[in-house]
Structure 1
């Protein structure tokens, strides 16, 4: 299992090094995931080897959300005082982001001459 974790972390490290070293606009973990995908395609035995480790990691993925839950519980008084404003800001910013995406899509479609 340790070797499998080293393989996963080495791919992430390689992605981070590539992203920062080459100044790429893609996050390092995404590049690392692409490298891992390429390695799994080139060596199917590697996929079989790391499958139990990755399954165990995915089974316990919810543990990553514990710090966020603790933060929410720790600031319940703030949520009680400003809950309505926080929900309104969350909803409005979500709608604004979606609308911005729509307008950018329409602008790009118009600039590229894509038909409706």
Structure 2
């Protein structure tokens, strides 16, 4: 466990050093995570060495939320005064995140090559909302005629 913790802290320190030396606007912890991801991708054996201990460290992840909760309790009066701007910013940022994620997903799907494998036909009557011609949806009267098993 000590070895894994040392490796994780080493990557964070390396990221902080790169961010500080390069005067980068990216947090050092993020740079360290990217470097760790690159190492794990390039050396598969490395992940096996730290995986079990890293999973054990994840059990203590909820403890990291304690300082944020204490901060909200200490500054509850200030949060209450600024509740409307905080709520609006949360809603707007959440909506923007969903929109940007959808756009990035669509962009990646457009770049991804279509699958060459033929897809097997669906076997259950409820698997597809389309008629056999796969272009039109069945009418409501057709749906009512479907027998259930």
Q: TM-score range by the shorter chain?
A: 0.5 to 0.7
- Identify the structure with the greater helix proportion: 1
Larger radius of gyration: 2
Corresponding residue SS for 1:24: coil
Partner Cα distance (2:54, 2:83) in 1: 36
- Structure 1 residue 55, shift from structure 2 partner: 0.9
Counterpart for residue 38 of structure 2: 38
Aligned length: 98
RMSD after superposition: 2.7
Counterpart for residue 48 of structure 2: 48
- Structure 1 residue 73, shift from structure 2 partner: 3.9
Deviations 1:60-93 (A, max 9, x none): 11101112223344455x37xx73x332121233
Show structure 1 runs of 5+ residues with no match. Answer: 106-116
The runs of at least 4 aligned residues of structure 1 exceeding 3 Å deviation read 71-76, 93-99
Deviations 1:5-55 (A, max 9, x none): 111111111111111101222211111111111111222111011111211
Show structure 2 runs of 5+ residues with no match. Answer: 101-149
Partner Cα distance (1:94, 1:47) in 2: 36
1:93 corresponds, among 86, 89, 96, to 89
Partner Cα distance (1:73, 1:97) in 2: 23
Bigger relative contact order, structure 1 or 2, given CA contacts below 8 A and separation 6+? Answer: 1
Residue 71 to residue 24, structure 1, CA distance change in 2 (3 Å): closer
Partner Cα distance (1:88, 1:10) in 2: 41
Residue 3 to residue 26, structure 1, CA distance change in 2 (3 Å): same
